[in-house]
Amino acid sequence: MRITRVEVWSVEMGLESPYTIAYETVSSCTNVFVRLHTTGPHHGLGCAAPDRHVTGETVEGTIEALERVAGPALLRTDPLRRARLLDRLRAPLSGHPSVRAGLDMALHDLLGKVSGQPLYRILGGFRDRMRTSITVGILPEQETLEQVRAFVGRGFRAVKLKGGIDLERDIERVLRVRAAVGPQIELRFDANQGYTVEQAVRFVEQTKTANVEILEQPTPKGQPDLLGDVTNRVSIPVMADESLLSLVDAFRIAKRGLADMVNVKLMKVGGIDEALAVNSVARSAGLEVMVGCMDEAAISISAALHFALARPNVTYADLDGHIGLDGDPTAGAVILRDGVLYPSPNPGLGA
């Protein structure tokens, strides 16, 4: 079996509920899809979700990298020699992590289809479902409460609140949400790099009664020592997100004790194979792992879910980036019931 064609196209998808985080407001997203055609009966489908703030990529640059760099390099190659192909593309695509993630995804999808198995079974098959949190952006208190109640009513049992713009309002929103939902709902908070060390410490102290489970990326990614300062000074787990973009970052965070947890996103690290390597570093250092996402089509969420299902120490999931996307061509690649994600029973990634 050989790759005969690399097909690339982009899809802009509107968000049913636009949201605001510390540094931007998002109302739509554009994902770039890649399909690997082969001489056999199967094809592999992947997806890249470039983000200028997180991955440093643009949609135009992503399409160009797939068409002009990856396409010619993959033609007439054996797609089951995944490690060799991805290693060959590592240097030419060094500044394009979501491109590498999309290609990695397509190759894994093809492997599952050739094998006739859902991918998580091939990768290890530790579990067959996983609860996900649902994210609420920065909103006024009343709108925050309305969204949280609606999500809880749909069966979600873990809620992540975004903040990082106004410390006092963040504290009040967290306290109000806890009072509204009671103690049974898991509550997490993501400052998206918006706090100083002192603000992060104050946030934790002032929200103790709310039992916030995780504080995610409170300080700027370019100043890792600040993240370590917060980790050493607060009583709840601190998670690195934007600070973790590669295997080297994972090693640095683990070696220096900069965080208690890491958020592994396929688009940041470059795909499932790299995520497995990052996870191994985290496991060896005793760091808890969350699998996360950005605004991504269902097949991309599926890839992250299959990675998480395969490994016992990936204990948290924040895989809600596909929910409410209008026009997702891969809708149905994952199954959501009462806040729990299930893989499709179809081979590969299920799309």
What amino acid is encoded at 272 in this protein? I
Number of H helices, E strands in the chain: 13, 15
Is the four-CA dihedral 51, 81, 244, 214 of positive or negative sign? Answer: positive
Query: Is pLDDT at 30 greater than 70 in this prediction?
Result: yes
Cα–Cα dist 3/5, whole Å: 6
Cα–Cα dist 287/274, whole Å: 17
- % of the chain surpassing 90 pLDDT: 95
Angle between helices 97-115 and 82-90 (to 10 degrees): 170
Q: What is the pLDDT of residue 24?
A: 67
Q: Please state the pTM of the whole predicted model.
A: 0.95
Number of domains forming the structure of the chain: 2
- The enclosing domain of 93 has a CATH number of 3.30.390.10
Average pLDDT over residues 317-327: 94
Q: Which residue has the tokens 């809880």?
A: 152
Q: What is the pLDDT of residues 186-218, one digit of tens each?
A: 999 999 999 999 999 999 999 999 999 999 999
Residues 96 and 168 in one domain: no
Residues 132 and 220 in one domain: yes
Q: What is the pLDDT of residues 73-132, one digit of tens each?
A: 999 999 999 999 999 999 999 999 999 999 999 999 999 999 999 999 999 999 999 999
Residues 324 and 200 in one domain: yes
Residues 168 and 49 in one domain: no
For residue 79, what are the domain limits? 3-116
Q: Which of 116, 142, 157 is the last residue of a domain?
A: 116
Answer for the pair 141, 178: CB distance below 8 angstroms, yes or no.
Answer: no
